[in-house]
Amino acid sequence: MQTGEPSRTALGAAVYRAHHQVSDAGRIFHDPLAVPIIGGMPALTDSFFDRDTDGRIRLLVAARSRFAEDALAEAVAAGTEQAVILGAGLDTFAYRNPHPRLRVFEIDHPDTQAWKRKRLHEADIPVPPSITYVPIDFEHQTLDEVVAATDFDPARPAFVTWLGVTVYLTRPAITSTLRYLGSMTAGSQLVLDYAEPVIPATPEEHAAAEFRKQRLSQINERWRSFFTPPEMAAELQHDGFDVVEDLGLAAATIRYTGAPAKTPERPGPHVLRAVVRG
Ligand SMILES: C[S@@+](CC[C@H](N)C(=O)[O-])C[C@H]1O[C@@H](n2cnc3c(N)ncnc32)[C@H](O)[C@@H]1O
C-alpha cells in the first residue's frame, strides 16, 4: 500500500462486487450496498488490476463472499456471537448484518479504515452500534495486541474472515496472525482465501500476469505470498485448525453457478473454511 493512502485493491474488489450486482443480478452474492458504497458504478476499467475478460475474477470475488457469509450464518445458528472481518476493505456485511446478537469487529489498515468510514458517511449508509473498528498493520502489529484493546472476548467462539488479504502480506505476517487465530476457543472458524503459485502456460496468460504485476506494482500492492493447498493445510494444521473445505475456482464455479467450469481445476485462487480443534 502507498504510505498514507487507502488500499486501491480494496476498491478493486468492491467494484467487482458492484459489477456482479449490475451485470449478473447478484445471483451468486446479493449485496444491496455493493453499488452505494462505491458511490455508483465507475467505468469498469478504472479500478481493475486484472484483465477480467472471461469474468473469472468477478465470479471469484462474488463466490468467496457468498462462501464466507453462508458459513457465518451457519456459525451464528450454532451460537457464535462474534464476527471478525480482517482486512475488511469495503466489505458491507457489517452494515447488512441480519443477526441481532452478532457483534462485528472490522480490522483493517488504518488508512483503508478511515477512507471506508468516509465512504459510508458520503453514501448515507448507517453504521450500526454492533460494529467495532480496530486498526492494524499486519506487518508491524499482532492481532492479539490490537484485539486486547477491544471488548472482543477470546474465551467465546468467533467467526473470522480474511478475504483478499493474504496474497499482499509477507509470510511472517500471515503465520503470526494464523497462530493467534488458531489459539481461539475451540469451534471458532476461519474463512480465508489464498493464491497458489501459478506459472503462466500460454502467451495470453503471461501477458495477463505481467499486466497485473505492473498495475499492482504502481500502487505498491504487490502479490507477495503464495501457498499450494498442501502447504496451506499444513500451516493451518500446525496452528491448531482442521480444514473443513478448500475450494478452487472450478469447484466454486460449479457450486455457485451450477454450470460446469470453463476450465478444469488448475493452480489459482482458493477459498477455504477451517475450524479450531478442540
Ligand atoms: C484486496 S483488499 C480486500 C478487501 C476485502 N476483504 C474485500 O474482499 O473486498 C485488501 C485489504 O487488505 C488490507 N491490507 C493490506 N495490507 C495490509 C496490512 N499490512 N495491514 C492491514 N491491512 C492490510 C487492505 O487495507 C485492504 O482492506
Name 210's Cβ contacts closer than 8 Å, sequence gap at least 6. Answer: none
Atom of ligand 1 nearest to the CA of 64: 8
204 burial (CB, 10 Å; 0-12 / 13-18 / 19+) is exposed
Hey, how many other C-beta atoms are within 10 angstroms of the C-beta on 40? 8
Distance 127 CA to ligand 1 centre (A): 20
Residues 63-100 have pLDDT tens digits of 999 999 999 999 999 999 999 999 999 999 999 999 99
Domain residue limits, the chain: 8-276
pLDDT of res. 185: 97
Question: How confident is the model over 155-209, as pLDDT tens digits?
Answer: 999 999 999 999 999 999 999 999 999 999 999 999 999 999 988 889 988 888 8
Give the Å distance between the CA of 272 and the centre of ligand 1: 18
Q: Given the C-alpha cell 503470526, which residue does it identify?
A: 176
CA proximity to 244, closest of 178, 195, 180, 189: 189
Provide CB contacts within 8 A for 231, sequence distance 6+: none
Confidence of residue 51 (pLDDT cuts 50, 70, 90): low
Answer whether 106's CB lies under 8 Å from 98's CB: no
Q: What average pLDDT is seen over the chain?
A: 93
Nearest Cα to Cα of residue 239 among 227, 247, 249, 248 = 227
Nearest atom of ligand 1 to the alpha carbon of 140? 19
Q: What spacing in Å lies between the alpha carbon of 6 and ligand 1's midpoint?
A: 9
Query: By alpha-carbon position, which residue is closest to atom 9 of ligand 1?
Result: 13
Section 201-219 average pLDDT: 87
CATH topology of domain 8-276: Rossmann fold (3.40.50)
DSSP 41: P
Angstrom distance (rounded) from CA 262 to CA 101 = 41
Among 2, 5, 7, residue to substitute to test ligand 1 (most atoms within 8 Å of Cβ):
7
pTM above threshold 0.85: yes
Residue pair 215/207 in contact (Cβ under 8 Å)? The answer is: no
The whole-number average pLDDT for the span 30-38 is 97
In this structure, the residues whose C-beta lies within 6 A of any atom of ligand 1 are: 1, 7, 9-10, 13-14, 87-91, 108-109, 112, 136-139, 163-165, 168-169
- Which stretches does DSSP call E strand in 131-264? 131-135, 159-162, 189-195, 241-248
Residues paired with 106 in a beta bridge = 85, 133
